[in-house]
Amino acid sequence: MTRTDSAESTGPLLTATRLRKTYGPTAALNGAEFTIDSGEIVAVMGPSGSGKSTLLHCLAGIITPEGGTVHYRGHELSAMSDAQRSKLRRGDFGFVFQFGQLVPELTCAENIALPLRLAGTNRKEAESCALEWMARLEVDDVRSKRPGQVSGGQGQRVAVARALAARPRVIFADEPTGALDSLNGERVMELLTTAARETNAAVVLVTHEARVAAYSDREVVVRDGQARDITSATAGIA
Amino acid sequence: MILRWCRELGMGAGFALSGGRPGWTRMLLTALGVGLGVMLLLLASTAPTVRDAMQDRMGARSPVFLEEGEEAGGDALLASYELTGFRGTMVSGLLLEPLGDPEAAVRPPGIDRIPTAGELYVSPALRDLLRSEDGALLAERFDEASIVGVIGAEGLSGPHELHFYLGTDTLSKEPAPSAVSSFGEDRSNSGMDPVFVMLIVVIIVVLLLPIGVFVLTAVRFGGESRDRRLSALRLMGADNGMTRRIAAGESLVGALLGLLVGACLFLVARMFVGEVPLPYGGVSPADTVPAPLIAASIVVLVPACAVLVTLFALRKVAVSPLGVSREGTDRGRRLWWRLVLPAVGIAILAVLGGGSASAADEWAIVTGVLMTLTGFTLLLPWIVEVVVARLRGGPLSWQLATRRLQLNSGPAARTVSGITIAVAGAIALQMLFSAVDEADREATGQGPSQVQLVASSSVDSSAEGLAFARGIDGAEGVASSFSILRADLPLVGAEPDSSGRQERRSVVVADCAALDKLITFSSCADGDAFVAGADGDGDSFADRGDASVVRPGDRLDLDNAYPGTGVTDPRPWDVPRVEQAGTREFTVGETYEGLFVTPSAFPVEELSDIRSTVLITLDPRVPDAAEHVRNHIGIGDPGLTLHALSPDANSTEMAAVGDALRAAAIVTMAVIGASMVVSTIEQLRDRKRQLSVLVAFGTDRSTLGASVLWQTAIPVVIGLVIATGCGLGLGLLLLRMAGLPVTDWLSFVPLVGAGLAMVVLVTLASLPSLWQMMRPDGLRTE
Amino acid sequence: MSISNTLLGLLESGPRHGYDLKRTFDERFGHDRPLHYGQVYSTMSRLLKNGLVEVDGVEAGGGPERKRYAITDAGITDVGRWLATPEKPEPYLQSTLYTKVVLALLTGRDAADLLDAQRAEHLRLMRELTRRKTNGDLGDQLICDHALFHLEADLRWLELTADRLDRLAGEVGK
């Protein structure tokens, strides 16, 4: 597995400037700015339909914005080919979504091993690595169950393990606790943030729940397609 | 690179195999679907082998007769073909008589010695028939012969062939016995009737196309859950190429399993192939071996097609990490390119329709038929979409079904397209078929009115001929008979040709009642003479040798024995004044053209080489009348032949092929029906949650059941309507090409009926799983 | 929160010294605000007067902190009554934040900035509580959660108000 190593690793890990993206007549993003450093956990908040998820998708290179740029370690994402962006998702990025990201046909352990195998690790190695992560996220008892057979909390923890297994630099989490009750949700958040800090992974955390956002270091509010860094705004006042 | 590709294909294969219970079910269904197709393809691939083996054996048992004047060796034997029929089935055989030592004599394959006079070797099927109650009447014909052995499979065309070898001692008493020096001649492909070739080609296309379509549909089972899986893979960083290769790997597994299943099904089917009553004596399991080249291409092409189809199906699909979106769903299907193929196909067939089909045109016909049929298949999704988009209103079940189809009618249309091809092809063939059949029927019907059998025998004198006729007249089952004597007389004064043969003229001697069966005249009385078939100057007879026209004043020699068979004793006879008469078409047996005289106008008793022919009408009150007449004539006399003119006896083979065609079309429909059950269940499973919500709303079972029915019925009915139109059109084009009139406008009725029955069956078969899906626990999420 | 009821409740499990009571209280409920000894003794003497506790014994060495207190039957009844009586839910109708927002609108100041600043402050506290919760025991977690839910409720109000600032400005301006 190769990372997109470059000399610019001193700058911010991921920056977005003046992002613009419209769906039909509505503008999901209209000049949004965003930046995140290595190991930082940033919450992206905002009312539903404000463009939080669109921002995350743009940052991860899943969708291409109509205007503005996204730089990851000095490379512009929209200038990359689909294959390059796929490679980035394979090695440098991890994803945790509200639900539906697990492959229902595979067991939990196989799901976690999947990104490693996509990146070319052999099956045995990938699965033993998956088991380590399952132990860390306290779901090693469901290793041979399929996603349909485990509880929502376990499923999300499997998803977190999968996002972390390839040791990504950035984890994109879109409402990772959205489908969970608060107790399970907080456990998932605790495990996610602890593991992210241990591996020095940055986390872009999209959520509409303040208590989930409270696990972050910093908060960005998306409103009317624009992203505002609330934390630094306060710093300015103080 | 290659290694990487292989690994990704392998990963896909892994997904396919590790899918858990639903995954396995889907995989097995795919394998079964592909397997059924592969089985049929493999069975079809045995055709060349079967035909070659049959021809080889038929060739190996053909006697090689000595040329005239050739010296017979010590191992030579006398032989004569014997053909008889039994209730419409042909019974063939050979009369054998050794010239010298029976042990040393050549013998046909399948028997271990030459039967002596009165001994009989029979094929197993004939043995069974003779022993059965049904065959008692046939057994009478062989009454004096005792069965001493059974002909081995190597001497038969197929397991159901009725064939015999009868030992005799009368062949040597014949005036011109034919000696056989050996058995086995090279039977290279004899030229086939172009219409027949066309039939075969169209049958193959019609049966194989739906199978192809079916295999292609089968590899796409489970498409929706695969889409979800692929999208999850994309999120994890699989690029487009990887995703495609993984998907290809998945369908590859299905196809490979399908090959395996198909091979097993083929081996099973092969065991029972001997039981199937096919024309030409059936097919033995031992012959049912796929032609290596075709089998190899099936093994290679089926998986390759599976992969290609998957890649092609994904071509229009954008698998993004956030889900799968299909291009063109809102744009709608385009019409113009779907029209190109059928238009070109129809154009080819229409242009060809002008001339008669020659060998060079066969490929054009195949291309035309193929393009027309596949073209309509391409047209189908567009038509389904357009029709479905206009459906609205109606009861709730109808609304649910039409809205669902409007959302995505692709899978339904794809499945139905197989049916469309099968039905359209079958309708076209049925039309062609009944027209060919009818043409034959009419041809035979044009023979002497009511004459059903024609018996003829070579006799040495008119007295013998009349005795033969009298014998038949008194036989059981004969209502009336007309005796005709016919002889070829040398033309006096004509120069012998290079081979020493004298030019001859055909003379038919019969009373007015019998003559009326052969020619048309205004009046007839004993003493009259007629000439028929001449058009004045006789040019049309230029190449007909003995049948050439006779003119008054021509001098014929009453000593008509062939040179070398007796003493020449020229007795000239002058052709009297003749009336011009019209010919009746008489397609079976001899051609009756030339000079026709009443008995008192011709000294028939002076002739020595006469063909005595009896036209027989059967007594409808006697069951199996024809068999009784055949029994009366018996077998064992090589100079004696019996032809049946009754249409039913003649057309059984055609009818068999027609039945086989209909049966094959219905089998194809059944296979497609099975695949529709699979895809319906598949689709129900995908919509489990929505169904549960509908149930939670209080939707009752009958409404949901009816919506499943509509969902199947709407595309099938559209498909059947198109198939009927396309089939009738194609049938008309083919008929025009064959130069035949339309005789069967209603050929589509049974097939359309079968299609509708299939809709009901598919719905019934899907209902149990619908009930299962409707249980409220479907509301639970993962 | 009633200190006297809490101390009385703590005594129900067995007699305790005054300093012991203070320590237990601080451990379980004190957190931010530990009790003063003075508070403990004044409370105890009031309870003694009301006959809800009695002095169980006095240790040698003198000093008021050496007294051991025990709960009386009347005290047990009192604790039971207190626990069974639901607390009156706070109506939160007098909100400083609302006042600030309206005043900002009336004086033409940027109410959105005010709300954002408040939001950031709320979230800062929530982060702190979350951190404490992550490292603490179950008691810490429950106490922090209580505060977190309240803060979250405030935060939701802030969000809702921010979304309806325009309408509010219209109504205030009339």
Mind listing the domains of chain A with CATH numbers? 11-237 (3.40.50.300)
Residue C36 touches chain A, beta carbons under 8 Å: no
Mean pLDDT in residue range B79-102: 76
Are residues C117 and A233, on separate chains, in Cβ contact within 8 Å? yes
Mean pLDDT in residue range A171-191: 89
Instruction: Pick the range with the lowest mean pLDDT from B68-77, B372-381, B720-729.
Output: B68-77
Is residue B445's pLDDT more than 70? no
Q: Classify residue B128 by burial, with Cβ atoms within 10 Å: 0-12, 13-18, 19+.
A: middle
Is residue A171's pLDDT more than 90? yes
Mean pLDDT of chain A: 84
Q: In terms of CA atoms, which chain C residue is nearest residue A232?
A: C120
Residue A47 touches chain C, beta carbons under 8 Å: yes
What is the number of structural domains in chain C? 2
Q: What are phi and psi of A140, to 5 degrees?
A: -70, -10
pLDDT in tens, B578-610: 777 776 655 444 556 677 888 777 777 777 777
Is residue A108's pLDDT more than 60? yes
Query: How many Å separate Cα B326 from the centre of its chain?
Result: 44
> What stretches of B287-413 adopt beta strand conformation (E)?
317-320, 323-326
Q: In terms of CA atoms, which chain A residue is nearest residue C117?
A: A234
Which of B11, B23, B237 is facing A86, going by the closest CB pair?
B237
C102 and C80 assigned to the same domain: no
Contacts of B309 (CB under 8 A, 6+ apart): B216, B219, B220, B251
> How far is it, in rounded angstroms, from Cα C76 to Cα C82?
10
Residue C121 touches chain A, beta carbons under 8 Å: yes
Residue A51 touches chain B, beta carbons under 8 Å: no
Which CATH number is C50's domain given? 1.10.10.10
pLDDT class for A5, splitting at 50, 70, 90? very low
Is A in contact with B (3 or more beta carbon pairs below 8 Å)? yes
- Measure A148 CA to nearest chain C CA, in Å: 30
Model pLDDT, residue A37: 92
Maximum distance among all Cα pairs of chain A, rounded to whole angstroms = 55
- Measure B330 CA to nearest chain A CA, in Å: 14
Model pLDDT, residue A71: 92
Model pLDDT, residue B547: 45
Which of B19, B20, B236 is facing A90, going by the closest CB pair?
B236
Of C63 and B248, the one with more pLDDT: B248
C75 and C108 assigned to the same domain: no
Q: What share of chain A is helix, strand, coil (3-state, %, to 5)?
A: 40, 25, 35
pLDDT class for B545, splitting at 50, 70, 90? very low
Residue B563 three-state SS: coil
Model pLDDT, residue B155: 78
> How far is it, in rounded angstroms, from Cα C12 to Cα B111?
115
Which residue in this structure is represented by tokens 């089972």? B221
Which residues of chain A have a CB within 8 Å of the CB of B15? 103, 105-106
Sign of the dihedral through C-alpha B588, B594, B600, B603: negative
Sign of the dihedral through C-alpha B423, B428, B432, B434: positive
- Structural domain ending residue among the three candidates C84, C108, C143: C84
DSSP string covering B374-396:
HHHHHHHHHHHHHHHHT---S-H
pLDDT in tens, B501-511: 667 777 888 88
Model pLDDT, residue C62: 58
Of B36 and B657, the one with more pLDDT: B36
Among candidate residues B297, B293, B323, B307, the one with its CA nearest the CA of residue B52: B293
Residue A8 touches chain B, beta carbons under 8 Å: no
Q: B454 forms bridges with which residues in the sheet? A: B615, B643
C107 and C160 assigned to the same domain: yes
Q: Classify residue B733 by burial, with Cβ atoms within 10 Å: 0-12, 13-18, 19+.
A: buried
pLDDT in tens, C35-58: 888 888 888 889 889 888 888 877
Q: Is residue C89 part of a domain?
A: no
**Do residues B616 and B453 touch, judged by C-beta distance below 8 A?**
yes
Q: Is residue C90 part of a domain?
A: no
Residue A109 touches chain C, beta carbons under 8 Å: no
Is residue B191's pLDDT more than 60? no
Residue C163 touches chain A, beta carbons under 8 Å: yes
Q: Is residue C61 part of a domain?
A: yes
Q: What letter would DSSP give residue B71?
A: P
C64 and C100 assigned to the same domain: no
Which range among A2-16, A162-176, A218-232, B764-778 has the greatest average pLDDT? A162-176
C117 and C145 assigned to the same domain: yes
**Do residues B262 and B37 touch, judged by C-beta distance below 8 A?**
yes
Q: What angle do CA B47, B53, B58 make, to 5 degrees?
A: 125
> How far is it, in rounded angstroms, from Cα A210 to Cα C99?
23
C126 and C63 assigned to the same domain: no
Task: State how beta strands B594-597 and B640-644 pair.
Answer: unpaired
Which residues of chain C have a CB within 8 Å of the CB of A233? 113, 116-117, 120
Model pLDDT, residue B112: 82
Residue A114 touches chain B, beta carbons under 8 Å: yes
Of B438 and A71, the one with more pLDDT: A71
> What stretches of chain A adopt beta strand conformation (E)?
14-23, 26-36, 41-45, 67-72, 75-76, 93-96, 170-174, 202-206, 218-223, 226-229
C131 and C153 assigned to the same domain: yes
**Do residues B380 and B413 touch, judged by C-beta distance below 8 A?**
yes
State which residues form the domain around C47: 3-84
pLDDT in single tens digits along all 174 residues of chain C: 578 888 888 888 888 888 888 888 888 887 667 888 888 888 888 988 988 888 887 776 656 567 888 899 998 898 888 888 888 877 776 688 888 888 888 888 888 888 888 888 899 999 999 998 888 888 888 889 999 999 999 998 988 888 888 888 888 776
Residue A209 touches chain C, beta carbons under 8 Å: yes
pLDDT class for B20, splitting at 50, 70, 90? low
Q: A89 forms bridges with which residues in the sheet? A: none
| Amino acid symbol at A170 | V
C130 and C166 assigned to the same domain: yes
pLDDT in tens, B340-366: 888 888 888 777 765 554 555 666 777
**A touches which chains (3+ CB pairs under 8 A)?**
B, C
> How far is it, in rounded angstroms, from Cα B223 to Cα B268?
31
Is C in contact with B (3 or more beta carbon pairs below 8 Å)? no
pLDDT in tens, A37-96: 999 999 998 887 788 888 998 998 888 888 899 999 988 988 888 888 888 888 899 888
Model pLDDT, residue A234: 44
> How far is it, in rounded angstroms, from Cα B177 to Cα C38?
147
Model pLDDT, residue B447: 45
Which of B4, B18, B237 is facing A89, going by the closest CB pair?
B237
Model pLDDT, residue B443: 55
Model pLDDT, residue B441: 61
Among candidate residues A125, A75, A71, A91, the one with its CA nearest the CA of residue A2: A91
Among candidate residues B597, B519, B526, the one with its CA nearest the CA of residue B556: B597
pLDDT in tens, B124-133: 888 887 787 7
Side-by-side strand order, sheet with A75-76: A26-36, A14-23, A67-72, A75-76
Are residues A82 and B240, on separate chains, in Cβ contact within 8 Å? yes
Q: What are phi and psi of B573, to 5 degrees?
A: -140, 130
Mean pLDDT in residue range B121-125: 83
Is residue A233's pLDDT more than 70? no
| DSSP H helix total and E strand total for chain A | 8, 10
Model pLDDT, residue A134: 92
Is C in contact with A (3 or more beta carbon pairs below 8 Å)? yes
Is residue B542's pLDDT more than 60? no
Among candidate residues B165, B81, B167, B182, the one with its CA nearest the CA of residue B123: B165
Which of B18, B20, B237 is facing A115, going by the closest CB pair?
B237
Residue A183 touches chain B, beta carbons under 8 Å: no
Contacts of A172 (CB under 8 A, 6+ apart): A56, A59, A60, A93, A94, A95, A96, A203, A204, A206
Model pLDDT, residue B361: 64
Residue A49 touches chain C, beta carbons under 8 Å: no
Residue C137 touches chain A, beta carbons under 8 Å: no
Are residues A211 and C148, on separate chains, in Cβ contact within 8 Å? yes
Sign of the dihedral through C-alpha B401, B407, B410, B411: negative
Q: Is residue C91 part of a domain?
A: no
pLDDT class for B533, splitting at 50, 70, 90? low
> How far is it, in rounded angstroms, from Cα B141 to Cα B134?
13
Q: What letter would DSSP give residue C94?
A: S
Residue C126 touches chain A, beta carbons under 8 Å: yes
- Structural domain ending residue among the three candidates C57, C84, C111: C84
Residue C127 touches chain A, beta carbons under 8 Å: yes
Find the length of chain B: 782
Find the length of chain C: 174
> How far is it, in rounded angstroms, from Cα B58 to Cα B281?
11
Q: Is residue C159 part of a domain?
A: yes
Instruction: Pick the range with the lowest mean pLDDT from B23-37, B41-55, B246-260, B349-363.
Output: B349-363
Model pLDDT, residue B199: 64
C54 and C117 assigned to the same domain: no
Which residue in this structure is represented by tokens 């004596």? B281
Q: Where are the domains of chain B?
A: 1-62+193-327, 86-183, 335-442+651-782, 448-644
> How far is it, in rounded angstroms, from Cα B464 to Cα B473?
14
Which residue in this structure is represented by tokens 């001497």? B155
pLDDT in tens, B271-321: 887 776 666 667 777 777 888 888 888 888 888 887 887 777 777 677 777
Sign of the dihedral through C-alpha A136, A138, A141, A143: negative
Of B204 and A194, the one with more pLDDT: A194
> How far is it, in rounded angstroms, from Cα B324 to Cα C170?
45
Model pLDDT, residue B781: 43
Are residues A103 and B15, on separate chains, in Cβ contact within 8 Å? yes
Which of A210, A223, A237 is facing C123, going by the closest CB pair?
A210
> How far is it, in rounded angstroms, from Cα B650 to Cα B340?
43
Residue A237 touches chain C, beta carbons under 8 Å: yes
Model pLDDT, residue B536: 40
C145 and C107 assigned to the same domain: yes
Q: In terms of CA atoms, which chain A residue is nearest residue B232?
A: A101
Model pLDDT, residue B587: 45
Model pLDDT, residue B340: 84
Count residue pairs from A and C with Cβ separation < 8 A: 53
Residue B706: how many other CB atoms lie within 10 Å? 19
Q: What angle do CA B176, B178, B182 make, to 5 degrees?
A: 165
| Amino acid symbol at B628 | H
Q: Cα(first)–Cα(last) distance of chain C, in Å?
A: 42
- How would you classify residue B505: left for phi > 0, otherwise alpha for psi between -120 and 50, otherwise beta? beta
**Do residues B629 and B463 touch, judged by C-beta distance below 8 A?**
no
Distance set, CA B514 to CA B442, B611, B616, B643, B749 (Å) = 22, 15, 11, 17, 44
C114 and C168 assigned to the same domain: yes
Sign of the dihedral through C-alpha A113, A115, A116, A118: positive
> How far is it, in rounded angstroms, from Cα B718 to Cα B755?
11
Q: What share of chain B is helix, strand, coil (3-state, %, to 5)?
A: 55, 15, 30
Mean pLDDT in residue range B553-581: 69
Are residues A230 and C155, on separate chains, in Cβ contact within 8 Å? no
Residue A195: how many other CB atoms lie within 10 Å? 19
**Do residues B711 and B680 touch, judged by C-beta distance below 8 A?**
yes
